[in-house]
């Protein structure tokens, strides 16, 4: 099965954070699961780190792409179809990163792994 992970899922995975659900942890650790990591998540992580809203190890910041590949995750580019879909959402959810992730989930027909119930307003299949 294939899944797109929300940004916080990747961060909690790397930090071995207890907030990560057992189901999410199982999906991320299974060799039967294909995990997609969105380019928008990389952008969100790096922007928040640069603005001081997110403190991360220097190695993770400098080698983010390497870390993603080391996990066996597949990079998911943001394409035109997803950006159009994100712009068309009528849901009053102002987080542009979530809007893109939801649009990627819907245009690719891939469930998103996320704790964020607000994602449901976009009509995604959310797993937690």
Question: Quick one: what percent of the chain has pLDDT higher than 70?
Answer: 100
Note the pLDDT tens digit of each residue in 54-79: 999 888 889 999 999 999 999 999 99
Q: Are 124 and 112 in contact (CB under 8 A)?
A: yes
Note the pLDDT tens digit of each residue in 86-120: 999 998 888 999 999 999 999 999 999 999 999 99
| Domain CATH number, residue 67 | 3.40.50.1010
Write down the pLDDT at residue 28: 97
Write down the pLDDT at residue 59: 85
**Helix (H) or strand (E) run with residue 74 in it:** strand 74-76
**Can you say how many angstroms the Cα of residue 40 is from the centroid of all Cα atoms in its chain?**
8
Euclidean distance between CA atoms 15 and 56, whole angstroms: 10
Note the pLDDT tens digit of each residue in 12-66: 999 999 999 999 999 999 999 999 999 999 999 999 999 999 999 888 889 999 9
Write down the pLDDT at residue 31: 94
Range of the domain at 88: 2-127
Q: State the total domains in the chain.
A: 1
């Amino acid at each position: 099965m294939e899944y797109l992970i929300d940004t916080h899922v990747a961060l909690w995975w790397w930090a071995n954070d207890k907030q990560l659900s057992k189901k999410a942890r199982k999906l991320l650790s299974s060799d039967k699961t294909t995990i997609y990591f969105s380019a928008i998540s990389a952008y969100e992580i790096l922007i928040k780190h640069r603005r001081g809203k997110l403190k991360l190890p220097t190695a993770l910041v400098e080698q983010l792409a390497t870390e993603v590949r080391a996990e066996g995750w597949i990079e998911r580019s943001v394409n035109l179809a997803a950006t159009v879909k994100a712009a068309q959402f009528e849901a009053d959810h102002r987080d542009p990163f979530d809007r893109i992730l939801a649009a990627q989930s819907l245009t690719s027909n891939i469930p998103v792994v996320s704790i964020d119930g607000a994602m449901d307003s976009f009509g995604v299949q959310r797993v937690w």
